[in-house]
Chains A and B, each alone.
Chain A
Amino acid sequence: MRTRLRKSVAFAALAIVAATGAARAQGEIKIGEINSYSALPAFTEPYRKGWQLAIEEINAKGGVDGKKLVVISKDDAGKPAEAVTAANELVSREGVALITGTFFSHIGLAVADFAKQKQVFFMAAEPLTDAITWSKGNDYTFRLRPSNYMQAAMLAEEAAKLPAKRWATVAPNYEYGQSAVAVFKELLSKARPDIEWVDEQWPPQGKIDAGAVAQALLASKPEAILNVTFGADLVKFVREGNTRGLFKDRSVVSFLTGEPEYLDPLKDETPKGWIVTGYPWYDIKTPEHDAFLKAYQAKFNDYPRLGSIVGYGTMKAVAAVLAKAGSTETDKLVAAAKGVEVDTPFGKIVFRATDHQSTLGAYVGKTDVRDGKGVMVDSVYRDGANYLPSEEDVKQLRPQG
């Protein structure tokens, strides 16, 4: 539906007034979906393909309880205020059963707070912030993607095995970068009290002055570096670091760098041997993933990115919640979502009852270059369940009542 709308708007500008009143057939469940499609197409396009595939598969099998799932998807233009407007439209005008989606942490939080206020079920897809399930968690919000804490825990475990003692960090100067560094430092220092933190750099997101940052890191003579930058910042940092010899004889541990979204642009300039979290779709040999990969490539003639997994998993999770609840009432959805099991390309996951976090994990491996392309090698799947604090500990992190 979106493609049709998009075309009509592009070609006829104002002439066409949206065909919003989609058939309200009785055998339908409407799902509202919001994401930063225009602001972050590199991540959200594969994400959209992922959920489209999931919906197609679910409906091909007869939908949920004989009802077809219909997704009404909205763009949030990368702004929390627009996301709240979109959520309002989905809930008040379209009458959706639940809302899902979002990428940025602050947008995820804004929509989660909206869900709490309006008492709507919200399945957050991608926002990484720990706050969405912990300090600002609420009854109505669940989250699929492995959180900041979980990814930090997976990487800290690997980092502790390294001999390096002098560590420096570089991270984008906003909540995601700050909490990634803080959790990583805390967990690594706990495992290895002998470690020293010798420098930290906080370039603004999207505006890294990579040469100066690389040089500053060099001057602190670290033995290992934690990197949290991604996207264009990562490209610049890697290029400057390579040229200036920053990564020579140093270990680097890096968040998200193994995701095709961030690794592919680096091509043959991909630094070798970084310990990263990511998604090596080319090396995963499980029956669940094979089936997903085949279906995805057949439908889109493209390889999946991590966003595809997230989009696919999100709609599978939504369908599982709807099936378990046997209803579209919010209370029943919330009750059903606690402890619901979902089959994903990464295997079976569970949404924990206490903090509403799924146990979806991530692959941890090392970067390498194969045929002029950046890849992850020696990848191992880390089950998210093993990298979350216990449910008792987590209870205290969430607002009471």
Chain B
Amino acid sequence: MSSVAQPSEPRRNDAGPDQNQRVASVEFFVVQFLTGLASAASLFLVASGLSIIFGVTRIVNFAHGAFYMLGAYVAYTLTDRFEGFFGFWGGIVVAALVVAAVGALLEIVLLRRIYRAPELFQLLATFGVTLMVQDLVVMIWGPEDLVGPRAPGLRGAVDILGLAVPTYDLFLIVLGPLVLGGLWILFHRTRWGVLVRAATQDRDMVAALGVNQTWLFTSVFALGIFLAGLGGALQIPRNAVTHLMDLSIIVEVFVVVVIGGLGSVLGAFIAAVLVSELNAFGILIFPKISIVLVFLVMACVLIVRPWGLLGRAEGPARQPAGLSIRPWRPMSQNQRLIMLAVVVAAGFAPFVTGDYALTVLAEIAVFALFAASLHFLMTVGGLASFGHAAYFGLGAYGAAFATTMFGMPMIGSLLLGPLLGVAGAILFGWFCVRLSGVYFAMLTLAFAQIAWSIAFQWVEVTGGDNGILGVWPASWASSPATFYWLALAVSVIGIVALRVLVFSPFGYALRATRDSALRSEAIGIDRSRVQWAAFVIAGTFAGIAGALFAFLKGSVFPDNLAIPMSVDGLVMVLLGGIETVSGAVVGAIVYKALAIWLVSQTDLSKLVLGAIIVLLVVAFPKGIVGFAEDLLARRRTRADDGGSAARTAPAKATAPTSGSGAAPIAAPKMEAAR
């Protein structure tokens, strides 16, 4: 901390505080522990709801944060209008009930339609809802932060060992275990609870035994949302109500649920306490730790305990993400010619459109490659990644380092940049492929967040959140037309390469590990090595896309490897159709074009985009390309009637109208062994 006479900047404060100054008394530790418990209780309320919903319905409820936020907004309105003791506490409870009702409505109107869609597809629907809610709350309640009243009777502080502890904190500390106990009684002492636990363990069996799943799911969803709404409503005496509340909690809550073990409410409670206490004491030693702490904890826990603290090993997956009843085939000669024509037509774009359209098209090409790389991992490998942006972002940073630090020409940077993504994929992939299902996804998320926080915090190297500027293309590629051709060429080559891999022996081995881990290992496929290789391949192509992206935008920021980027990738894949070979490309084109156009046209881009996503989800539960393939298959079936029976058989099986109940919930079992 030398005192510089002249202003020099950028200035960052890196010297830590003098920790000896702090009075580290017993009293302080007790009070800090209580503070941590109060935070844990807030976190647990929301997390428990998410855990219950996921445990039973397997919905990755992205909208959970949105309901938390709605709970806070509704509670604000109610407590603002009805004052006094009953006004306040009644308002809190009513707000949670209102939000639960909205949640139940959402489940009935939207989610029920898509339980039969491939796993994770519900994530897309809830993502669309989240986008809409973010704009809706601003339209209804206005853009400014709202500060609700303090809780009547719990305004002040209590003196504990000479230090003031807010009464409301003590209330939360008591409430957390009460809710935990209440849930325990509900699950262990009621028939409904028994059914919920049974469904958490084995949905198919519960369905087979004749339990009405429809209402079981609705009631579970409503309970989960009630808890989210309650968690939000209880925040108003200590927090501000803003339209950013959902984002500030959703990821953290997911992490807590996963650390605790999916479907385990007690696990969620323990995880909430663990995370909150580590944060409360961690900031004393490392004041900057909060930004990454939960992800570090999750990574450590998952590496040691692959199913979370109290989670149990899941049975072999019955419905892998990429299961397709229609066998994949390489393209026919005609299809290849059509694709070639499409690419050539795309190559002619610079002759018919302007510069702006070309930069947009280049961006779409970059994202098509990024989405295709994620799609390869998710569909062919059956490994859904929630943190794929890490390799995209690392590729972008790699290109930026090569350009600004080592003065590489653009081509050199484009070649070397992705290596950083590859290195990240090799390192993180090694840990991730030890896990499966949502745990795999969450570990990828944890690593992505760790990579993000390094980019964010390591100011000397990465420029921190102010990023790296001046990563512009070389003069020969600086015209929008040339850069578009470059992006198009790289993207097409990448997508073709990924397709070739799908139908290579490696691709078949990978699909084998996806469809049955046990059988593939029995025939001598080294599952973890094959999946690791797939992880690295996906990371490589994401890194290439990232390097292109850096030159397209001229600058690199931590945003490039942040969660929204990973979510964008997921949305593109799901929108295109997870059961298809190359649906992600179409998903990327549709999503990115829509997003860019809407942001340019309206401030309400999130509302409109969210609504469109919800509509698409309902209209095309197999994704856009999946829907088109079904349509084609059906037409072919009709055309082939009376033709070779051998050819019609697989096509018939895929027809969604077959009514055979071939839904994931009661899907034919892939594995007899459990």
* Chain A partners chain B: yes
Identify which of B25, B32, B465 gathers the most chain A CB atoms within 10 Å of its CB: B465
Interface residues of A in 199-231 (CB under 8 A from B): 199-204, 206-207, 209-213, 215-216, 218-221, 231
**Beta-carbon contact of A216 and B11 below 8 Å:** no
Complex formed: what's the CA distance from A194 to B157 in Å? 35
A15 to chain B, nearest CB (A): 11
Interface residue? B607 (CB, 8 A): yes
A273 to chain B, nearest CB (A): 19
**Beta-carbon contact of B466 and A42 below 8 Å:** no
Interface residue? A145 (CB, 8 A): no
Complex formed: what's the CA distance from A299 to B252 in Å? 43
Complex formed: what's the CA distance from A31 to B283 in Å? 46
With CB as the reference atom, state the residue of chain A lying closest to B360: A85
**Beta-carbon contact of A42 and B11 below 8 Å:** no
Interface residues of A in 51-67 (CB under 8 A from B): none
Complex formed: what's the CA distance from A178 to B10 in Å? 9
Interface residues of A in 222-250 (CB under 8 A from B): 231-232, 235-236, 239-240, 243-245
Complex formed: what's the CA distance from A173 to B564 in Å? 19
With CB as the reference atom, state the residue of chain B lying closest to A231: B145
Task: For B16, list chain A residues within 8 Å (CB).
Answer: 200
**Beta-carbon contact of B147 and A266 below 8 Å:** yes
Contact size range, A: 35 or more
Task: For A212, list chain B residues within 8 Å (CB).
Answer: 32, 35-36, 39, 279-280, 283
Complex formed: what's the CA distance from A199 to B21 in Å? 8
A83 to chain B, nearest CB (A): 9
Which of these, B13, B165, B465, B602, contacts A200 with CB under 8 Å? B13
Which of these, A85, A240, A389, contacts B7 with CB under 8 Å? A389
Complex formed: what's the CA distance from A76 to B248 in Å? 20
B600 to chain A, nearest CB (A): 6
**Beta-carbon contact of A209 and B601 below 8 Å:** no
**Beta-carbon contact of B611 and A13 below 8 Å:** yes
Interface residue? A37 (CB, 8 A): yes
**Beta-carbon contact of A209 and B596 below 8 Å:** no
Task: For B238, list chain A residues within 8 Å (CB).
Answer: 210-211, 236, 239-240
What does the 1/0 interface line of A99-133 toward B look like (CB < 8 Å)? Answer: 00000011001101110010000000000011100
What does the 1/0 interface line of B1-28 toward A look like (CB < 8 Å)? Answer: 1011111111111001110011111001
Complex formed: what's the CA distance from A61 to B169 in Å? 59
A214 to chain B, nearest CB (A): 8
**Beta-carbon contact of B144 and A206 below 8 Å:** no
Interface residue? B340 (CB, 8 A): no
What does the 1/0 interface line of B284-319 toward A look like (CB < 8 Å)? Answer: 100110110000000000000000000000000000
Identify which of A45, A81, A131, A198 gathers the most chain B CB atoms within 10 Å of its CB: A81
Task: For B459, list chain A residues within 8 Å (CB).
Answer: 175, 178
**Beta-carbon contact of A84 and B555 below 8 Å:** yes
What does the 1/0 interface line of B586-615 toward A look like (CB < 8 Å)? Answer: 000000000010111111111110011000
Interface residues of B in 346-380 (CB under 8 A from A): 354-357, 359-360, 363
Which of these, B163, B290, B596, B611, contacts A204 with CB under 8 Å? B290
Given contacts A84-B555, A174-B456, A267-B147, contact A232 B467 (CB under 8 A): no
Interface residue? A330 (CB, 8 A): no
Which B residues form the contact surface with A (CB < 8 A)? 1, 3-13, 16-18, 21-25, 28, 31-32, 35-36, 38-39, 135, 138, 143-147, 150, 155-157, 163-166, 168-169, 237-240, 242-245, 247-248, 252, 276, 279-280, 283-284, 287-288, 290-291, 354-357, 359-360, 363, 456-457, 459, 464-467, 469-470, 472, 480, 549, 553-555, 557, 559-560, 564, 596, 598-608, 611-612
CB-defined A-B contacts under 8 Å, sample of 5: A85-B363, A109-B467, A174-B465, A232-B145, A239-B238
Which A residues form the contact surface with B (CB < 8 A)? 2, 5-6, 9-10, 13-14, 18, 37-38, 41-42, 45, 74-77, 79-82, 84-86, 88-89, 92-93, 105-106, 109-110, 112-114, 117, 129-131, 134-136, 149, 166, 168, 173-175, 178-179, 181-183, 185-186, 189-190, 196-204, 206-207, 209-213, 215-216, 218-221, 231-232, 235-236, 239-240, 243-245, 261, 264-267, 269, 389, 393-394, 396-397
Given A18-B601, A182-B13, A215-B280, 16 more pairs with CB closer than 8 A = A10-B602, A74-B599, A80-B555, A105-B465, A109-B467, A166-B21, A200-B13, A202-B287, A207-B252, A209-B39, A211-B35, A215-B28, A216-B284, A219-B22, A232-B239, A265-B240
